[in-house]
Structure 1
Amino acid sequence: MGSPVRRLLRARLRTILIISGAAAAVLTLGAFALVKNDGPAKTTRVAQTEPKATEPLPDEPRAEPTRAARRGTRSPEPSRKKTRTPKSKSDAKAGQGPKPKARKKKKRKVLKSGSCEASYYWQGQMTASGERFDPSDLTAAHKTLPMGSKVRVTNKNNDRSVTVRINDRGPFVSGRCLDLSRAAMKKVRGTGSGVIPVRYEVLARG
């Protein structure tokens, strides 16, 4: 009894070993086949992912053929380097030119000066010079100065000055030497009081 059972077991064990060996061989061959087949697939994928080389754009048509196309010799292109000629000091000075001189204000020579009181008037009338009195002009009346004389009048209360032209006679009141137009009195801010102390300077005689 023992001997046939052992034989059967040995036979089955051999069958299992043969089957398992065959299966292992098949798996090994399959793995090698997969490895071999994977190489070309990878190269195919890499080739698909690589960017295609851009084809050169065709040259645009030219309006006129170049000299080379007409079998002519092409002249050498001029160099783009610019040569600067050094400027002499005399040229630089000539380019600058003379500087304009600042004009100095000429001070008028004072021919006569003094102090007195001044009033103003605004009624429209004929002046002693023969012209119509205009209260908006910078004019004044004086007893003796020639017609057309220029007089600078300064208000002693605020040091404001105005230059007037003598075109009338007056004022005929004691202590007053000038009768200003309303515009002239406004320049020295004296219309509020009517009569102001002034300093006068004769700049030109008419």
Structure 2
Amino acid sequence: MKRLLGACALLSLLTGCASHDIDPRGYDQTGTASYYGARHHGKRTASGEPFNQHALTAAHRQLPFGTRVRVTNLSNNKSVVVRINDRGPHTRGRLIDLSRQAAEQLGMLRSGTAKVRVQGIND
């Protein structure tokens, strides 16, 4: 009986620590974006597809794979729609990691990061 209770306690603890996808409908957050490019090109993303620095994709910690979001650079008001296909960013304080192509369209290649607004798109 003690083993069963211990196993149940451990399972509930692990379940509580697991990352959960969030509902993209109504998602609207502001934070720092960065981008990743050439050294990751061709490597497998968390969704299983190869990373393509020339595609309009992004990494987010919790949004479900396939979610489309509008990312707006708050310093120049340029925006781009990207599809979430990877997990990240892995740097504390960042909201989203963009492909090089998305970063180029947002005008943030030179700085490497930008303050952005990320909004879920309802399909």
| Shorter-normalised TM range | 0.7 to 0.9
Q: How far apart in 1 are the matches of 2:53 and 2:27?
A: 26
Give the 3-state SS of the residue equivalent to 1:183 in structure 2.
helix
CA RMSD after TM alignment: 1.2
Indicate whether 1:179 and 2:108 are aligned. no
User: Out of 27, 38, 59, which is 1:112 matched to?
Assistant: 27
Deviation at 1:119, TM superposition (A): 0.3
Look up the match of 1:151.
69
Is 1:193 equivalent to 2:111 in the alignment? Answer: yes
Identity over aligned pairs, percent:
47
Q: Secondary structure at the match of 2:92?
A: coil
The alpha-carbon deviation at position 168 of structure 1 amounts to 0.2
Structure 2 CA distance, aligned partners of 1:137 and 1:183?
6
How many angstroms apart in 2 are the aligned matches of 1:196 and 1:158? Answer: 10
C-alpha distance in 2, partners of 1:181/1:112? 20
Q: How many residues align structurally?
A: 96
- Greater strand share, 1 or 2? 2
Distance in structure 2 (CA, Å) of the matches to 1:153 and 1:180: 9
Which residues in structure 2 correspond to 1:55-204 (within 5 Å)?
111-122=26-37, 123-124=40-41, 125-204=43-122
Structure 2 unaligned runs (5+)?
Answer: 1-24
Q: Which structure has the highest helix share of the two?
A: 1
- DSSP 3-state at the match of 1:118: strand
Question: How far is the alpha carbon of 1:204 from its aligned partner?
Answer: 3.8
Give 4+ residue runs of structure 1 displaced > 6 Å after superposition: none
In structure 2, C-alpha distance between the alignment counterparts of 1:164 and 1:204, rounded to whole Å: 13
Unmatched runs of 5 consecutive residues or more in structure 1: 1-109
Taking structure 2 as the reference length, what is the TM-score of the superposition? 0.75
TM-score, normalised to structure 1's length?
Answer: 0.45
Query: Of the two, which has the highest radius of gyration?
Result: 1
Higher relative contact order (CA 8 A, sep 6+): 2
Following TM superposition, by how much is the alpha carbon of 1:129 offset from its aligned partner in structure 2, in angstroms? Answer: 0.5
User: Separation in 1 of the partners of 2:122 and 2:82?
Assistant: 11
1:19-49: CA deviations, max 9, x gaps?
A: xxxxxxxxxxxxxxxxxxxxxxxxxxxxxxx
Counterpart residue type for residue 114 of structure 2: I
SS at match of 1:116: strand
Q: Helix, strand or coil: the match of 1:187?
A: helix
CA distance in 2, matches of 1:130, 1:204: 24
Alpha-carbon distance between aligned partners in 2 of 1:190 and 1:129, rounded to the nearest angstrom: 25
